[in-house]
Amino acid sequence: NAPFDVVALREEFPVLSREVHGKPLVYLDNAATSQTPRQVIEVFGDYYSRYNANIHRGLHTLADEATAAFEGARHRVKAFLNAEDARQVIFTRGTTEAINLVAQSWGRSQLAAGDEVLISMLEHHSNIVPWQLLAAERGFTIKVIPVDSQGALDMTAYRALLSERTKLVAVNHVSNALGTINPVKEMATLAHQYGALILIDGAQAAPHLKVDVQAIDADFYAFSGHKVYGPTGVGVLYGKKSLLDAMPPWQGGGEMIKTVSFDLGTTYAEIPHKFEAGTPAIAEVIALGRAIEWMESVGVGAIGAWEGVLLDHATQAVSQIEGLRILGTAPHKAGVLSFVVEGAHSQDIGLLIDQLGVAIRTGHHCAQPLLHHFGVDATCRASFAAYNTLEEVDSFIEALQRVIGMVR
């Protein structure tokens, strides 16, 4: 039984009623981007038809209204993450930019030769490449926490990798390629025992789990708007206040300064503005606030529980398919079913199943080192959201069986 009314909930998502190749759309690519409910879409029309104005520096009504809505979204994100203070919420373009912010600001000023940054085998490229770019410049070493055969992090190896040299642990909360939920609270405790910080890439956790940055004791936490039923072009970096206060700006421009002078140099604004140079994605931020409001109205716990039902159902069904191998069988998973099929290229499956109206993702999922570790170049990935139904899972399985029959 659905813990909430999924049929009614689907009505709120206009795109879900469309057809693809003459078939009802079955959208199972939610880990890449989730769909948006009407109340999020409406923010754009409303903003641009009623109060489009640049924020913070205006003294007119439209600017005041836009600023209030923008800062209101910041307060919503603060509550969503259980942050101590709304000033710890920095708006970015997404998870990628949030991680790059930490690398370029905190990392560039704090990391040097002899230091170590621990990342994991499960990371998305966006939590690998920013560290590689910086390591080439600063000379620190990147070490990789391995995974076991189920795709869970090897915690014994993690403990062994930690040392006085470790300055940062940068890991995802949930793997986008396998769905593994990582024990980030325990990892934070261990990192802190060595005086290291922990940055958590929450891009795949925020859509499915109740995130509490204080309970986790995260130093940095990042997520993207477009994976939590919000728009593209916006994301969040949460940081501990003492860290953010001490970090240098990374992009210069308007909004992030206190005073600018050719003679006296420039002084910077307080957080969060210090890290928000230039005009932000105002409508997108407001829409992100609305998306979070939508998620909370449904209940983040209820969403995660329903997706668990869908994932279990899908896992059981695909397990019956001969020659199909699931990648990622850790006991704690969220939202993602990744698999390969003997004798069938993932790319072919993806293209053919689209002809039957089913959207899944195929490829390396921006996690090439992980896939390489499992000896594959690509997988098929079905990923779930609040609005998916058991009937859709059945349609997906039926379509998958047909496609496998065609290509084998």
* Interface ranges with ligand PMP (CB under 6 A): 94-96, 124, 126-127, 172, 176, 201, 203-204, 224, 235, 366
Helix (H, G, I), strand (E, B) or coil at 69: helix
Torsions phi, psi of 122, nearest 5? -85, 0
Shortest gap between Cβ of 15 and ligand PMP (angstroms)?
A: 19
Alpha helical stretches, state H, 180-248: 184-193, 213-216, 241-246
Shortest gap between Cβ of 2 and ligand PMP (angstroms)?
A: 26
In a 13 Å sphere around the CA of 352, the CA atoms on its Cβ side amount to 18
| Amino acid of residue 266 | T
CA angle 179, 121, 364 (to 5 degrees): 65
Between residues 94 and 151, which has the closer beta carbon with respect to ligand PMP? Answer: 94
Q: What is the DSSP letter of 408?
A: -
Between residues 66 and 203, which has the closer beta carbon with respect to ligand PMP? Answer: 203
Annotated catalytic residues are: 366
Radius of gyration of the chain (CA): 22
CB 80 within 8 A of CB 211: yes
Shortest gap between Cβ of 67 and ligand PMP (angstroms)?
A: 25
Shortest gap between Cβ of 300 and ligand PMP (angstroms)?
A: 18
- What residue ranges in 202-270 does DSSP mark as E strands? 220-224, 235-239, 257-261, 265-268
Between residues 225 and 289, which has the closer beta carbon with respect to ligand PMP? Answer: 225
Shortest gap between Cβ of 177 and ligand PMP (angstroms)?
A: 8
Rounded Cα distance between 398 and 393, Å, is 9
Between residues 196 and 222, which has the closer beta carbon with respect to ligand PMP? Answer: 222
Torsions phi, psi of 23, nearest 5? -120, 150
Closest-CA residue to 332 (of 205, 243, 213): 205
Q: How many residues does the chain have?
A: 408
Closest-CA residue to 201 (of 271, 276, 128, 295): 128
Between residues 231 and 357, which has the closer beta carbon with respect to ligand PMP? Answer: 231
Cα 108 → chain centroid: 23
CB 229 within 8 A of CB 35: yes
Shortest gap between Cβ of 202 and ligand PMP (angstroms)?
A: 8
